């Protein structure tokens, strides 16, 4: 298993080394080929559990791991005229299985006949976070990795459906509002379920250096014939500040369910700050997540593991803009799960699939990561 994954990682590195590093390549007048990638290595100070991101199964231990952060995305954009375009993006990354997999991450047709209005139909990311859309594009983000306490909470990340976006500037304030509908699927405790009737909305306001956003995504998840419409809800609020050399960002998210409230409900938040010194941007992130329980719902915690547990992380990192098409990042962090399974840790060898993310981590874990991001 690990060898196959390493082979894919090595292939990614070889492909990247051979590709011409320009900002996208035009194929004729209407088609552009572009891509992005990250080569990253992670190591922790424990073998008790494996450290990953975004609910990856398995990851870094005292042995160096290249699959947590490495990825490669290839994108083809076609533009028929000023109001009709199509985009397909294939992304090879380790997802919730043990090995990296290539999937179509985006595949949509975009129609924008009226100024300020755009309709997309196809496969697209759900706007669950401030950087949902570009979470996998290392080059587009200051941090080496989005904090798992927030970004690891989402159980729905992508859907097949449609979204409608309206954008307009009201004087110095820019408003962007999106509504969406579609279908998806989610994995909980090792089993996949259909997430039907995914719907949501996202609103962003931008004024000068400050942008605020609020969004909600809900879905009726088909759990069993007896519970065919389990309500999953994910709400997120975010604020970003980017002026001169100062960057700051904070998000607060809530994940909820109905019948399975006491297994699913959790909150998460983080604050991040950074300062640009020329080509170097040091940054710091504090993140925290905590499950919630309510006596209004059945206490299921004695029967099943929770989807995620409490965890706090302090991270310090540095981004170096080494070239116009690439950056290098270092990040050190300490994750404290208070003796529980946390949210960043898993064990592929757990006795049952449902227990893979329920392995206790007895002591705080130190993680050290390095990554090179590039675009072409």
Partner 1 sequence: MKTFNRLAVAGAMILAVAVARADMVVVVSASSAVKQLTKDQVSGIFLGEATDFPGGGKAEPVDQDSGAARDEFYTKVTGRSAAQIKAYWAKQSFSGKGTPPKSVSGDDEMKKAIAANPNAIGYLEKSRVDASVRTVFAP
Choices 39-47, 119-127, 265-273, 355-363 (CB under 8 A): range interacting with partner 1: 119-127
Q: Rounded CA gap, 217 and 59, in Å? A: 29
| Closest to partner 1 by CB, 129 or 260 | 129
SS (H, E, C) 144-163: CCCCHHHHCCCCCCEEEEEE
Count the Cβ atoms, other than its own, within 10 Å of residue 28. Answer: 7
Interface with partner 1 (CB under 8 A), residue from 222, 275, 297, 325: 325
Q: Max Cα separation, the chain?
A: 62
| Closest to partner 1 by CB, 94 or 120 | 120
Q: What is the DSSP letter of 39?
A: E
Choices 32-40, 266-274, 290-298, 332-340 (CB under 8 A): range interacting with partner 1: 32-40
Report the nearest approach of partner 1 to the CB of residue 117 (Å): 10
Choices 45-53, 166-174, 195-203, 265-273 (CB under 8 A): range interacting with partner 1: 166-174
Taking the CA atoms of residue 87, residue 18, residue 68 and residue 272 in that order, the dihedral angle to the nearest 10 degrees is -70
Rule CB under 8 A: say whether 77 interacts with partner 1.
yes
Interface with partner 1 (CB under 8 A), residue from 16, 93, 125, 198: 125
Query: Strand, helix or coil at 251?
Result: strand
Closest CA to 233 of 246, 247, 220, 214: 220
Rule CB under 8 A: say whether 213 interacts with partner 1.
no
Q: Decide: 76 and 87 in contact? Cβ < 8 Å.
A: yes
Rule CB under 8 A: say whether 166 interacts with partner 1.
no
Estimate the share of the chain in helix, then strand, then coil, as percent rounded to the nearest 5. 10, 55, 35
Query: Strand, helix or coil at 7?
Result: helix
Interface with partner 1 (CB under 8 A), residue from 124, 159, 315, 343: 124
Cα–Cα–Cα angle for 1, 367, 14, rounded to 5 degrees:
45
Rule CB under 8 A: say whether 24 interacts with partner 1.
yes
Rule CB under 8 A: say whether 365 interacts with partner 1.
no
Report the nearest approach of partner 1 to the CB of residue 54 (Å): 16
Q: Rounded CA gap, 277 and 255, in Å? A: 37
Choices 42-50, 124-132, 226-234, 292-300 (CB under 8 A): range interacting with partner 1: 124-132
| Closest to partner 1 by CB, 7 or 27 | 27
Interface with partner 1 (CB under 8 A), residue from 190, 321, 348, 368: 321
Q: What end-to-end distance do the CA atoms of the chain give, in Å?
A: 30
Give contact residues for partner 1 (rule: CB under 8 A): 23-24, 32, 34, 36, 73, 75, 77, 79, 82, 87, 89, 106, 108, 110, 112, 115-116, 120, 124-125, 131, 133-134, 136-137, 139-141, 167, 169, 172, 174, 243-244, 276, 279, 321, 324-325, 327, 375
């Amino acid at each position: 298993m690990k060898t196959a994954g390493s082979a894919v990682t090595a292939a990614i590195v070889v492909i990247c080394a051979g590709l011409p590093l320009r900002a996208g390549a035009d194929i004729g007048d209407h088609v552009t080929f572009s891509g992005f990638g990250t080569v990253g290595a992670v190591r922790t100070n424990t073998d008790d559990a494996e450290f990953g991101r975004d609910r990856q199964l398995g990851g870094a231990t005292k042995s160096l791991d290249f699959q947590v952060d490495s990825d490669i995305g290839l994108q083809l954009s076609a533009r028929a005229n000023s109001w009709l375009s199509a985009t397909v993006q294939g992304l090879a990354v380790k997802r919730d299985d043990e090995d990296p997999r290539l999937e179509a991450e985006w595949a949509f047709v975009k129609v924008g006949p009226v100024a300020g209005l755009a309709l997309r139909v196809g496969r697209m990311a759900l706007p669950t976070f401030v950087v949902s859309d570009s979470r996998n594009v290392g080059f587009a983000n200051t941090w080496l990795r989005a904090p798992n306490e927030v970004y690891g909470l989402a159980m729905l990340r992508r859907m097949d459906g449609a979204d409608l976006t309206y954008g307009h500037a009201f004087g110095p304030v820019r408003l962007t509002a999106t509504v969406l509908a579609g279908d998806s699927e989610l994995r909980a405790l090792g089993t996949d379920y259909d997430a039907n009737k995914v719907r949501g909305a996202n609103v962003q306001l931008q004024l000068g250096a400050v942008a605020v956003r609020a969004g909600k995504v809900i879905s009726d998840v088909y759990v069993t014939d007896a519970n065919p419409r389990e309500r999953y809800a994910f709400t997120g609020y975010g604020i970003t500040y980017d002026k001169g050399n100062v960057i700051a960002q904070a998000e607060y998210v809530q994940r909820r369910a109905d019948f399975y409230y006491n297994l699913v409900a959790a909150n998460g938040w983080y604050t991040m700050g950074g300062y640009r010194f020329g080509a170097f941007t040091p940054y710091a992130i504090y993140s925290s997540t905590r499950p919630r329980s309510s006596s209004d719902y059945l206490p299921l915690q004695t029967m099943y593991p929770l989807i995620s547990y409490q965890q706090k992380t302090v991270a310090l990192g540095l981004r170096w803009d080494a070239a116009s098409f690439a950056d290098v990042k270092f990040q050190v962090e300490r994750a404290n799960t208070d003796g529980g399974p946390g949210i960043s840790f898993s064990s592929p060898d757990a006795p049952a699939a449902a227990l893979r993310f329920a392995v206790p981590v007895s002591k705080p874990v130190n993680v050290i990561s390095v990554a090179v991001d590039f675009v072409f």
